Amino acid sequence: MIKSLKSWLNEQSLNFKLSVSILTCVGLVFLGLVFFISEKSEPIIKSQIEDVAQKTVESYVFDFNNLIEGTEQIILNTKNTLVQAKKDKAIYFQALLDSALTTTHLKISNAWIYVFPDENVTNGILYKSFVQKNGEIDFKSEEIGDFYDKFPWFTEVPKEEKIFWSEPYGDKNTDQTVITALIPFKFRDSKVFNGLVAITVNLSNIRDSVNGFSFYETGKLLLLSRLGLYVTHPNPDIALKTTIFDLAKKINLPELDYIGNELKAGKTGQKEISSSTVFDEKIVVFYAPIKSIGWSFCLIYQQNEFLKPLHHFKYIVFVALFISIILLLLIINKICKHSTTQLSALGMIASLYGSGNFSQVFGEEPSSKDVKIISKALADMRKNLLKHIEKEKQNAAETQKNASELEIARNIQNSALSVDFPQNNIFDIYALMKPAKQVGGDFYDFFYIDDNNFAIVIADVSGKGIPAALYMMKAQTLIKNIAKSKIDIADVFYKANNELCEGNDSCMFVTVFMAVINLSKGEVRCVNAGHIPPLLFDGFEYSSLSTHKNIVLGIRKNIKFVSDKFNILSDNRILLYTDGVTEAENLSSKFFGEKRLFKVLQKNKINPRENLNTILKSINKFAQNTAQSDDITMLEFVYKGENIENLTVAADLNNIKKIVDFLKNNMRKHQIVEKNQFKVVTSAEEIFSNIVQYAYDNLKNKKISITAQKENKFYCISFIDTGKKFNPLEQKMPDISVDIKDREVGGLGILLIKKLADDVQYQRIENKNMLKVYFKL
Amino acid sequence: METKELKIEQIKDNGILTCKLSGWLDPNTSPKLVDSINLDKVTTLIFDMQNVEYVFSAGLRAFLIFQKFIDLQNGTMKLINVSDDIRSIFECTGFESMLETK
């Protein structure tokens, strides 16, 4: 997901990417700030508003309490004075009531004393002082039979001496809302209550004040009586007519019921009401009781009124953000477009240069520093390219000439490598060279020194190219010419080395292996001057030929070279190669190596042409398409031997017949007389049995190689095995002088060989036993 | 491949056992020769070597074993019709006392 978004972004223009990234950052920072501010400030505003609401309600409660307590003080004073009187006396009562009315700052609309009827009087008497509409105080007394009809809010005679407050009601005299406080009293020495003292307080001032109060814009203050009646309410249909409980039922708002009960219990608190059916917005009700009378004040306000500015602020920020983003977009676009247009133009010009069209140049005034750098670089590039192209054109012509010269050099070099492989019964030879791309320094050579001596040479000149090729030609010619003068092979190297050192200022050198084979005897003399040891196949397996290690040619003068000598038998092979074979590389830079070479050779005992081509195929398969870094050169010499025959058989006594047949055939060819044939066969059988039983301890899967040849006046058979060291000549001979009865059974075979053969030679070569047996003809 | 088969033809006349041998006496065939001849009550053991082509050391050992057995029975052993080539083998190993005197 993120990856695909990234790749999509990478395909957009710089302009777009810049805009998107800047605007995204700016937008995120702004949004974060706004949310942070609003999250932090909302609770602060809420709590501050609550604080103000609480203080407002508390001040109203305080005022109202003063009114109530003041009234109660007056009524208690009046009652206490009244207790002194013995009997009702109208004048005394009038004075008392008037003083109550006048001595107070409170808005008292009337005060009265009601004396209950007793055994002397049938009707009760009401003495009443009241404020008339014109403001004057009037007094009247009247007999009232039924007191409770006159004051319906007054339901029963109090049982104890305690102030009782009425619910608010309308005063008929003044048309104003009032409440009345009353308390029963006893005359002195009386046992029962004799009447009631009452003071009526005008509530209109308070109501006006409460009604007129508004808390900020939407806040309203409500006054509720002890029973939950709305003493004030903005709606005149509710004020003084409906209780909070009635209203809760009517508009189905259980929160009001809850508030009503809280008020009844005289508790202070706050309630949030969020009923979408009744109010448009969430409202908060803050309430507190007036303890003295059991009434309460409620302050109702819409919370959003106070949060609105904050929300407004948010909207304004959003709009500002939007506008600034648009503005930024336009500005970035403007700036980038100028640069990117020029960049695209530069790109176009660059691609034209790439395709070889140099006619266009960038002519505009660069719009930024970066564009300036690029356009300057482009102009320089154009100038240099034109210069280089001109130079290259000259070079190409020269290279063309050189290449054709190099081709000629390679042809000359290749023609120096003979491909005329002699065909005869004595040996088989094949050689190949696969040159690396350049003219290389490998060469092989083979030639007759005389009728019986054949030379094979392989060499590798250090370095590559024309100098290596020239040096190679020189080395090849020198070696061949000197070798043909029939001197000792070590001297050939001595002379060739001195010649090659002459004037060799460039310090080139050549590694050479050369062998001269005496074809009739199978005798090999060789010198190895710093070359990889060749491989020798001795009828069993290929192995590295261990030779004396001489210094390479061309480095130091007057070096004595040491030659080696060894014999080869029929079907033995000598494989010469250069390091281009073993150091052929594949794609993962691994060498072909000796291990792989041996593995290929294990399978093939065919003619040298096929053998070398199989190796080459195997190298090509290994290297795949890796460029060949060095010449690959190989030469294989297989000795057939004019008079030599070879047989390799499993070391099993059952093969005796095979050996006898092989030898008999061979001897018949050489016209060996019967008598000698018998000797040879008998000796051969004894040697074979000895090898099987003693050198191999009768082990299975072992082989024995037998060769037979005529050498001048001798017939020679030789046995090669890979068993443990076993020299039959060193075995204990039985004493033949003892009487037949005391003779031991062993040792007869070896005795026979020694008696029958004219010469027996044993050699331990590497891990092999080689026994040569000669018979005089 | 098998070696040239050894054939043994035995003719017993009283205490005289004549064995006509043909083929090779090599390490493969010689043990067979030793196993196949019963020397019980034989006083004279004669090997007719007319058709024997080769006697290798293994064959010599077989004859040596027969010689020792026949000596224990106080008998005699003779090889007849031995070719010159084979005779030379016997001679050069000191076995000529086994051969019939011509």
CATH no., domain B7-95: 3.30.750.24
* Residue among A577, A637, A634, A612 at smallest CA distance from A454: A637
Residue A743 has pLDDT above 80, yes or no: no
Q: Residue B38 has what pLDDT?
A: 86
**Residue B33 exposure: Cα atoms within 13 Å on the Cβ side:** 28
Residue B96: closest CA among chain A residues belongs to which residue? Answer: A740
Chain A hits for B67, Cβ within 8 Å: 740-741
Residue A355 has pLDDT above 80, yes or no: yes
Average pLDDT over residues A750-772: 87
Do residues A147 and A125 touch, judged by C-beta distance below 8 A?
no
* Residue among A291, A220, A236, A230 at smallest CA distance from A256: A230
Over the stretch B19-76, which tens digit does the pLDDT of each residue have? 999 999 988 888 888 888 888 888 899 999 999 988 988 898 889 888 888 888 888 8
CA distance A98 to A131: 10
pLDDT band at A144 (very low <50, low <70, confident <90, very high): confident
User: Token match 């140049």: residue?
Assistant: A361
Higher pLDDT, A446 or A255: A446
Q: Which of B70, B93, B95 to mutate to test the interface with A (most CBs of A within 10 A)?
A: B93
Q: Residue A495 has what pLDDT?
A: 93
Whole-model pTM: value is 0.43
Asked whether the beta carbons of residue A689 and residue B58 sit closer than 8 angstroms, the reply is yes
Domains of chain A by residue range: 85-206, 417-639, 645-776
CA distance A614 to A603: 10
As a 3-state breakdown, chain A gives helix, strand, coil percent values, each rounded to 5, of 45, 25, 30
Residue A156 has pLDDT above 70, yes or no: no
CATH architecture, domain A645-776: 2-Layer Sandwich (3.30)
Average pLDDT over residues A682-696: 91
From the list A654, A658, A749, the residue facing B57 with the nearest CB is A749
Considering Cα of B21, then B22, then B25, then B26, what sign does the dihedral take? Answer: negative
Q: Residue A86 has what pLDDT?
A: 61
Give whichever of A26-35, A208-217, A653-662 has the largest mean pLDDT.
Answer: A653-662
Do residues A84 and A96 touch, judged by C-beta distance below 8 A?
no
Lowest mean pLDDT among A468-472, A643-647, A686-690, B69-73: A643-647
Does A678 reach chain B within 8 Å, measured CB to CB?
yes
Q: Residue B3 has what pLDDT?
A: 46
Cα A269 to Cα A260, A282, A508: the distances in Å are 12, 17, 111
Residue A230 has pLDDT above 70, yes or no: yes
Helix (H) or strand (E) holding A403: helix A369-416
Instruction: Supply A225's token pair.
Output: 């009586």
Give whichever of A446-455, A538-547, A765-774 has the largest mean pLDDT.
Answer: A446-455
Average pLDDT over residues A195-209: 85
Does B61 reach chain A within 8 Å, measured CB to CB?
yes
pLDDT band at A105 (very low <50, low <70, confident <90, very high): low
Q: Residue B14 has what pLDDT?
A: 85
Give whichever of A18-22, A439-443, A469-473, A603-607 has the largest mean pLDDT.
Answer: A469-473
Our CA-based measurement puts residue A736 at a distance from the nearest CA of chain B, in whole angstroms, of: 5
Q: Residue A634 has what pLDDT?
A: 94
Mean pLDDT of chain A: 84
Q: Residue B2 has what pLDDT?
A: 43
Residue B61: closest CA among chain A residues belongs to which residue? Answer: A745
Does A247 reach chain B within 8 Å, measured CB to CB?
no
Residue A501 has pLDDT above 80, yes or no: yes
From the list A653, A656, A748, the residue facing B93 with the nearest CB is A748
Average pLDDT over residues A450-470: 86
pLDDT band at A438 (very low <50, low <70, confident <90, very high): low
Residue A750 has pLDDT above 50, yes or no: yes
- Reported in sequence order, the residue ranges of A590-641 that DSSP labels E, i.e. its strands, are 632-639
Instruction: Supply A742's token pair.
Output: 């005391």
Does A748 reach chain B within 8 Å, measured CB to CB?
yes
Residue percentage of chain A with pLDDT more than 70? 95
Q: Which CATH number does the domain A85-206 belong to among 3.40.630.10, 3.30.450.20, 3.60.21.10, 3.30.420.10?
A: 3.30.450.20
Residue B1 has pLDDT above 60, yes or no: no
Domains of chain B by residue range: 7-95
Over the stretch A280-316, which tens digit does the pLDDT of each residue have? 778 888 899 988 888 999 988 887 887 888 888 888 8
Q: Which of A683, A748, A756 to mutate to test the interface with B (most CBs of B within 10 A)?
A: A748
Chain B, residues 6-45, CB within 8 A of chain A, namely 26-28
Our CA-based measurement puts residue B100 at a distance from the nearest CA of chain A, in whole angstroms, of: 15
In this structure, which topology does domain A417-639 adopt according to CATH?
Phosphatase 2c; domain 1 (3.60.40)
